[in-house]
Each structure stands twice: as structure tokens, then as C-alpha cells.
Structure 1
């Protein structure tokens, strides 16, 4: 009895609640007439709070910073590599430029040296021949000096004296022609009598004091010298004044 008494009021309350809910559902628009929407409408609305973790954002930011740092490091590495390569190429270019300039200088020196050698070979090609020839020229000079000057200037000339004068003039002419021919080929004879002694061109065979002449001057030519294109072929043998 007690159970039924107690259960009746609870059934009555439940019936009242369901009737009230049904009236509310019927009073709402047609959109909520389905059982699902009715259940959602009956269910109480609760305020919920959503919580979000900031760890993923921090991880994303750290990853971005890491990528940027890696990218910057890679760019710096590439820049350093390019700089080293550029320096190596620059050094190589300087080296090749130096080699080129040296090669050009060597080639020009070779050209100049070859030109000088060719000129020297052309100028002194007859050097050996000229040395053998100067002895013949000396013989002409000795033959001419053997004729006394007073006989050549004598007013009255006998037949034999006239023959001597003619021979002298013939030898003198032959010597002049020979010297002119040798001069065309660069061979010249020189007589340093009266000049200052030059050890590069003269060979002193003796020295003697002479108060009336300047010290270290040539007063006697024992043998005349020869030059071949400005180079001494044979020095002149001379006597030199020595007053000191």
C-alpha cells in the first residue's frame, strides 16, 4: 500500500512534466516537430568552456625559426664558398696575367737579343778576314815609310830617283784605294799620335818623360790600330809620355 501511495504522486508528477514538454514542443515552429529536434529542444543547454594548448604554436614558431636559421646558415655557407671560389679565380687570373707579361717580356728580349746578334754577326762576319788583311796594309805602310822624305822633295831628280818617286806614288795610291774599300766594310785604321792615352784603344810599348809634352799623351805610334764597326780589332802600339 505504501509503495502504491508513494508511486502515484511520482507518476502524476511525471505525467505533468511530459504534458508541459509536449505543449512547449507543439507551440514552437514546425522545424522542431521531428523527434530528434524535439529531444535537442528538451535537452538542457549547458555552457561549455573550450581550452586550447599553445604548445603547437610554440613548436610551429620554433620550427619556423629553425628553418630560417638553417636557410640563413646555408646562404652564408654558399656565400663563403662563392667567395673562396672567386678569390681562387682572382689569384689564378693574376697568376696567368703575370705569366703572360713575363712571356711577352721574354719574347721581346729574345727579339732584341736576336736582332743584336744578327747585327753583330753581320757587322763582324769579316773579323777573321780583316785580321789577316791588316798585315798586308801594314806592309804597305812600312814600304812607304822606308822612302826618305828628302828624296821625294828633291828638286832635281835623276832617272833612278824618279823611278823611286813613281813607285812610292803607286804604293800610296794602292794603299789609299785599299783603305777606302776596307772602310766601306767597316774596317778603319787610326793613328793616335798626339792624343791622350786610352788603355781601351792603345797599347803602351814604352814610356818616357818629355817636359815639353803633356803627361799621359801619345808621342809616338809604333803600329797603327784598326777598328771594325767601332770595335777595336787591334789596338795601336804607342809610346806614352810619363812626366810624373
Structure 2
């Protein structure tokens, strides 16, 4: 190796014998690995951002009608009240009006259902679910265990699993439903009629 080459190597921090000192090469490899790691992290972050954005867009599309649906629930409630208040005679104009109201209410509920808005109307004895039910009052009951739904005062609605309006319910008071709560209550003797009391 001539003197000029040796001098150039010395200027750039390279040893006269290339195999002797690999520190500069190790530094370049470490820097390359650091940049590769950064690039992978940025790519992963972009993928997560893309997934979050898609989920938010799907939610926005699914729940865009939530306010509109909530406004229409009042229309459904009024139709139900009109049906309950309508006379039960099967003649004349009143029968035609009731039939028309029933058909309108049924069509409205079908429109709700086809757009993902489902009616929530728990039956007596169903478990109380605070996500979909709102307890309006508590009453003692002989037939329903304590804490369960006793009666639905107003149906609720959910949109794709999200509560738009909770069902307003009456809940059985604690200690209700003695038969269900006490499995050791005396059974009636053979041939004796069961009167519902323990």
C-alpha cells in the first residue's frame, strides 16, 4: 500500500490493515438496525391508525341514524297509545281506524327492525339488565323473584347493541317471589291441591 492510500485511510478512520479494526463497520450496522426498527414501528403505527380509522368510520355509519331513530320513537309511542285508547268494538269506522293504526305501527316497527333498531320489551321474570332497562319503581311480587323485571311500562330500543332508549320497567322488590327463593318450602300432600302458598 502506498503512502497516499495509507494517509487517505488514516483521514477516514480506516486502519492500514482492514481486517484488524471493524468498529466503523459495526457502527454502520447498528445505525442500519436502528433505522430499520424505526421504519417497522412507523409501519405498525400506520396500520393501527388505519384500523382505528376504519372502526370509527363504521361506527359513524352505523350510528348516524341514532338521533333520527330517537325522534321517531315518540311517533311509535303515540301510535301504541292510540291503539290502547281505541274502542274495542268490531264495527264501523272505529274498527277501520284501529286496523289502520295497527298496520301503521307494524310497518313502523318493521322499518325500525330492517335498519337495526330493535325493540327491547322484557317479560315478567326476565333478569333486570341495567344496560337495556331503567327501573322506574319497585313492587313486591309473589310470582317474580326479587330484582327481576315485573312489568314493562314502556318498551326500549337498541341500535346495533347500543341503547337508544332503555326499557322503563317495574322491578320486583327484594324478598319477592318466596316460592322461587325458598326451595325448601313444604310441598302439598298427595291428592291436595296446590294453592300457590307455601
Give the TM-score, by structure 1 length.
Answer: 0.60
Q: Pairwise mapping of residues 15-94 of structure 1 onto structure 2 (< 5 A)?
A: 79-80=20-21, 83-94=22-33
- CA-to-aligned-CA distance 1:88-139 (integer Å, 9 cap, x gap): 2232122122212211211111111111111111111111111111111111
1:200 corresponds to which residue? 131
1:48 corresponds to which residue? none
Q: Pairwise mapping of residues 62-211 of structure 1 onto structure 2 (< 5 A)?
A: 79-80=20-21, 83-147=22-86, 151=88, 157=90, 159=91, 162-194=92-124, 195-211=126-142
In the alignment, is the contact (CA less than 8 A) between 1:222 and 1:238 conserved in 2? yes
1:193–1:78 CA distance, 2 compared to 1 (3 A): same
Q: CA deviation at 1:78?
A: 6.8
In the alignment, is the contact (CA less than 8 A) between 1:131 and 1:233 conserved in 2? yes
Q: CA deviation at 1:75?
A: 5.7
Task: Count the aligned residue pairs.
Answer: 160
Structure 1 gap segments, 5+ residues each: 1-73
1:56 corresponds to which residue? none
Distance between the aligned counterparts of 1:122 and 1:144, measured in 2? 34
1:228 corresponds to which residue? 159
Q: Which is greater in Rg? A: 1
Answer 1 or 2: higher relative contact order, Cα 8 Å, separation at least 6. Answer: 2
Structure 2 gap segments, 5+ residues each: 1-14, 176-198
Secondary structure at 1:79 match in 2: coil
Give the TM-score, by structure 2 length.
Answer: 0.73
